[in-house]
A = this chain, B = another copy of it.
Amino acid sequence: MAEYSENVKRVLAEQGISVGDRVLVERPDSAYEGILMPNHEFSDPEVLIIKLDNGYNIGVRLVPGSRVKKVSGKAPQEKRKIRLSFNPRLPGVSLITTGGTITSRVDYETGGVVSLMSPEELLSLVPELADIVFLREVRNPFNEMSEDMMPWNWQALANDTVKALNESEGVIITHGTDTLHYTTAALSFMIQDLPKPVVLTGAQRSSDRPSTDAAMNLLCSARIAGHSDIAHVGICMHASMNDDYCNFILGTRARKMHTSRRDAFQAINDTPLARVWPSGRIEVLKKDYRKRTKGEARADAVFEEKTGLLHAFPGSPEPLHAMVDKGYRGIVIAGTGLGHVPRPWLDPITRAIESGAIVCIAPQTLYGRLNPFVYSRGRREYEQGVLFLEDMLPETAYVKLGWLLGHEEYTEEEVKKKMLEPVAGEISKRSLPGGFV
């Protein structure tokens, strides 16, 4: 944080004002009321940052003649009572919260966003949910922002999801968006015999901001979980920058393609499974989806931690050597073009394979399909024993390889064979329509 000027420090001290207090700034020309936020490193020392009631922050310069008053102390974090009127005639759905922006709000101590909200508070923001589904239970196995989700979180979440799924008509999981596509891919593999929808959703803007996408994403997720017959694990998030409808994208084909846009999640090499409107309209785009059945889901939540993901680049393959030295059992390389690595990367690949590791190549371009037979480099890698993963996303490939290697009962040949066969729609022999920029 930058230092305030001596003048501003004195004004704040005189009024006993600190960050988080509600203040009124009166300037000769204007007045602003709101909560005093911390200033940033780049703030002007004469400027107070105020969060207005509409949720936006503004910088207010203390021009000569300005006065600052404390209106009230730190606002207690509001605890709205959950006012869902449960209607057991509606489809019974379970909600699992794991952390992330969708259950976050601005922290007045730091000015940033923190994961603090209780499931009840989240639901109180979207009371319309009670008219769509009968919320049987809310589970909260852990709270992590998604950048901290690790394979053991996926395993815990898969186990919890299976329990919840077998007692309801569908499951909604709220999750941070950074690695939402990794987790969704993991659940796509770790939940077998899936008879019902598992809908992961998140928000790009925290739930206490006027521009939040949390409410619509939750409503659309409830429509899929409770009212669709699509028995897949997928991501349900905004389809565009408008608050009109969401896409439901297969969990192994989704990727976060923008840092901040609400429509950041895109189907890669695929079309979304369905479009869904908050009003309840569901337009299925992929006709060959798996339908609801009566069976029970089964958790297959294993993962080999000695698995890694690397992107080939024009430079030294030190990171690849390191994975071999550390005894990695599986390595996914995002290769260039049709699946190539630079010449110096061939040696560590040989070392990896000789050490018993499985080495796979996925497309660094993200879009499109690999082909080892067009160029001599591809044929060389293929002859080394590298697996070419067709049109599988690198992130999905990492998750799948770690999951397969987690099965101690599989032989190396079985892992290789399964890596090249679709388990959850993650690989196709023929390119699917749609799915390029």
Query: A residues 130-180 with Cβ under 8 Å of B?
Result: 145-151, 154, 176-179
Q: Beyond A257-B367, A437-B257, is A373–B319 a contact (Cβ under 8 Å)?
A: no
Q: Select one of B111, B150, B321 contacting A342, CB under 8 A.
A: B150
C-alpha spacing A338/B176, complex, angstroms: 12
Query: In the bound complex, do residue A340 and residue B147 qualify as a contact, i.e. CB atoms below 8 Å apart?
Result: yes
Query: In the bound complex, do residue B113 and residue A374 qualify as a contact, i.e. CB atoms below 8 Å apart?
Result: yes
Render A175-197 as a binary contact track against B, CB cut-off 8 A, 1 for contact: 01111001000000000000000
Query: In the bound complex, do residue A323 and residue B313 qualify as a contact, i.e. CB atoms below 8 Å apart?
Result: no
Give the distance to chain B from A41, nearest Cβ to Cβ, in Å. Answer: 8
- A64 in the interface (beta carbon within 8 A): no
Q: Cβ of A376: which chain B residues have Cβ within 8 Å of it?
A: 110, 112-114, 145
Query: In the bound complex, do residue A150 and residue B367 qualify as a contact, i.e. CB atoms below 8 Å apart?
Result: no
Q: Cβ of A313: which chain B residues have Cβ within 8 Å of it?
A: 182, 308-309, 395, 398
Render A302-314 as a binary contact track against B, CB cut-off 8 A, 1 for contact: 0001011111111
C-alpha spacing A343/B150, complex, angstroms: 10
- Quick check: which of A24-32, A75-83, A259-267, A405-413 contacts chain B, the rest being far away? A259-267
Copies in the complex: 2
C-alpha spacing A299/B186, complex, angstroms: 48
Q: Beyond A257-B365, A373-B112, A375-B145, is A319–B316 a contact (Cβ under 8 Å)?
A: no
Q: Cβ of A375: which chain B residues have Cβ within 8 Å of it?
A: 112-114, 145
Query: In the bound complex, do residue B113 and residue A264 qualify as a contact, i.e. CB atoms below 8 Å apart?
Result: no
Query: In the bound complex, do residue A379 and residue B110 qualify as a contact, i.e. CB atoms below 8 Å apart?
Result: yes
Query: In the bound complex, do residue B318 and residue A308 qualify as a contact, i.e. CB atoms below 8 Å apart?
Result: yes
Q: Select one of B148, B149, B256, B337 contacting A178, CB under 8 A.
A: B337
- A67 in the interface (beta carbon within 8 A): no
How many chain A residues touch B (CB < 8 A): the figure is 78
C-alpha spacing A334/B310, complex, angstroms: 11
Query: In the bound complex, do residue A256 and residue B365 qualify as a contact, i.e. CB atoms below 8 Å apart?
Result: yes
Q: Select one of B111, B308, B321 contacting A373, CB under 8 A.
A: B111
Q: Which residues does A use to contact B, with CB under 8 Å? A: 40, 110-114, 145-151, 154, 176-179, 182, 256-261, 264, 266, 305, 307-316, 318-323, 325-326, 328, 334, 336-344, 363-371, 373-379, 395, 398, 402, 436-437
- Nearest 6 A/B pairs, CB to CB: A259-B368, A319-B319, A322-B322, A178-B337, A147-B340, A178-B336
Extra contacts, 11 of them, besides A147-B340, A259-B369 (Cβ < 8 A), are: A111-B373, A114-B376, A147-B337, A147-B342, A151-B314, A151-B315, A154-B314, A259-B367, A264-B365, A310-B311, A319-B323
